[in-house]
């Protein structure tokens, strides 16, 4: 179940393009992070309270659109090929940023954010592309390279967006549009197709091209279904950072925005180092299973340090441990891609992106409200403001136990034997 016969120079160019695609997409989104709330404040007449309500709606809408559209993009890429879906997404994202840059009223900006969520589902197809062109034993390293692009994007994007937004609040949207459209032209000239016609789906099964249907697809492969559950638990735990990091560090340590920015920059730097520098050499030496178990163990330590830190210096020490938890993601992706049919890689990635988006719909609300309860006068346990990170650690412990059970027969380095799907037909 190896990738198609793309010769080495073309495969290398394609992998570089996917890296650049993910990096530019993350840069595009990162650039607007510092300015979007302020633009909303302008559009609602200066009320921070109203802007906060709208901003939370923007975030939930973005993740909802990813949740719905990721399986659709995956199914379309299985049927028509990866290249056309990736290029359409890049072009659509660029046009959408232009619409957002010009938006005169809030409801147009709101629609633009919805379209951004739809187009950002191209990460689904990018991961399927990597699975197409990379041998199974090298996929963990390839997925680690994509993870490094995420880290680099989050290092550069928000800092650049803050600088551009200081010059003009809508300038970051124009820069994001230029990046996306440049990426589209670059891909049009460079990117080869990774999925030959003979390996594509004969038709689109619309009953599977939705979040529920894509999860039913996972049930055909019990081991994949278990690893997908691990994937969901990891994603849900990560949203403890989105929901409470800034508020927690302000409440517990009195950090200002500058200190928070430095901490998030360190997170991005460590993530890039782990994903881009450690996964590639460690994957062949340890094997996917051991690497994944090690990553989850580091993540548990990182979240626990965050939750129980009595002082800020110890909290800083927790950041590298938490980022080492990123060792778990690439081997998990590699194992799952090696367990499904090549014609179903797009639907697999769509299902995984939907799981991540589903966690993003309600995860921040869960952790933020839990944090608010435990710092209120009605707190069940006094002085336990780190409860969100403790819960995240517990979720990763559950993921660690499930991983150990689901992969108990995969002891040697290298790819696992390819299991067959259940014989009963999907619902």
**How crowded is the C-beta side of 253, counted as CA atoms within 13 Å?**
22
Name the DSSP class of 80.
H
CA distance 79 to 291: 33
Structure tokens at 76: 């379309």
User: Is 86 in contact with 21 (CB distance < 8 Å)?
Assistant: yes
* Global pTM value: 0.68
User: Is 129 in contact with 18 (CB distance < 8 Å)?
Assistant: yes
Q: Which domains does the chain have, with CATH numbers?
A: 8-189+207-406 (1.20.1250.20)
Share of the chain above pLDDT 70, in %: 84
pLDDT digits (tens, 9 = 90+) for 323-375: 999 899 888 888 888 887 777 777 777 778 778 878 877 877 788 778 878 88
Per the listing, tokens 């290298």 go with 414
Which residues, 6+ apart, have CB-to-CB distance to 108 below 8 Å? 99, 100
CA-based radius of gyration for the chain = 21
pLDDT digits (tens, 9 = 90+) for 202-237: 676 666 556 666 666 677 777 888 888 898 999 899
Q: Is the dihedral of CA 349, 288, 297, 272 positive or negative?
A: negative
Which residues, 6+ apart, have CB-to-CB distance to 337 below 8 Å? 131, 136, 139, 345, 348
Higher pLDDT, 288 or 37: 288
SS3 170: coil
CA distance 79 to 274: 34
pLDDT digits (tens, 9 = 90+) for 50-71: 665 676 677 778 878 877 787 7
Backbone φ/ψ region at 299: left (φ over 0), alpha (ψ -120 to 50), beta: alpha
Per the listing, tokens 């990091």 go with 245
By C-alpha distance, which of 283, 316, 302, 266 is closest to 400?
A: 302
């Amino acid at each position: 179940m190896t990738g198609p016969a793309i010769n080495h120079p073309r495969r290398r160019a394609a992998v570089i393009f996917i890296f650049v695609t993910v990096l530019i997409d993350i840069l595009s989104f990162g650039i607007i992070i510092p300015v979007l709330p302020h633009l909303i404040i302008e559009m609602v007449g200066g009320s921070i309270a109203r802007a906060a309500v709208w901003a939370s709606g923007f975030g939930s809408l973005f993740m909802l659109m990813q949740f719905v559209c990721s399986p659709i993009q995956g199914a379309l890429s299985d049927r028509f090929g990866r290249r056309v879906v990736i290029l359409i997404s890049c072009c659509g994202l660029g046009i959408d940023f232009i619409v957002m840059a010009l938006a005169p009223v809030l409801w147009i900006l709101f629609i633009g954010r919805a379209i951004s969520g739809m187009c950002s589902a191209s990460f689904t197809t990018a991961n399927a592309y990597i699975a197409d062109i990379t041998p199974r034993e090298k996929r963990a390293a390839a997925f680690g390279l994509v993870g490094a692009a995420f880290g680099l994007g989050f290092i550069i994007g928000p800092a650049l967006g803050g600088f551009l937004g200081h010059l003009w609040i809508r300038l970051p949207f124009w820069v994001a549009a230029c990046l996306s459209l440049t990426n589209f032209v670059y891909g049009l000239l460079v990117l080869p197709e990774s999925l030959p016609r003979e390996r594509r789906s004969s038709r689109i099964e619309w009953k599977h091209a939705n979040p529920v249907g894509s999860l039913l697809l996972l049930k055909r492969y019990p081991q994949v279904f278990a690893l997908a559950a691990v994937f969901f638990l990891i994603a849900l735990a990560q949203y403890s950072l989105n929901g409470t990091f800034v508020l927690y560090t302000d409440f517990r340590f009195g950090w200002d925005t500058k200190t928070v920015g430095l901490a998030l920059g360190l997170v991005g730097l460590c993530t890039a180092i782990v994903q881009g520098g450690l996964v590639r050499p460690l994957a062949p030496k340890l094997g996917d299973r051991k690497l994944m178990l090690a990553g989850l163990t580091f993540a548990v330590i990182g979240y626990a340090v965050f939750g129980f830190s009595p002082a800020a210096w110890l909290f800083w020490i927790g950041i590298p441990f938490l980022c080492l938890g990123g060792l778990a993601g690439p081997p998990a992706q590699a194992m799952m891609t090696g367990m499904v049919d090549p014609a179903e890689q797009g639907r697999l990635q769509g299902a995984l992106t939907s799981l991540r988006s589903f966690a993003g719909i309600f995860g921040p609300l869960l952790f933020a409200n839990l944090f608010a309860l435990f710092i209120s006068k009605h707190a069940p346990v006094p002085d336990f403001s780190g409860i969100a990170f403790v819960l995240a650690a517990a979720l990763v412990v559950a993921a660690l136990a499930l991983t150990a059970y689901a992969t108990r027969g995969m002891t040697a380095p290298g790819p696992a034997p390819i299991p067959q799907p259940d014989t009963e037909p999907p619902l």
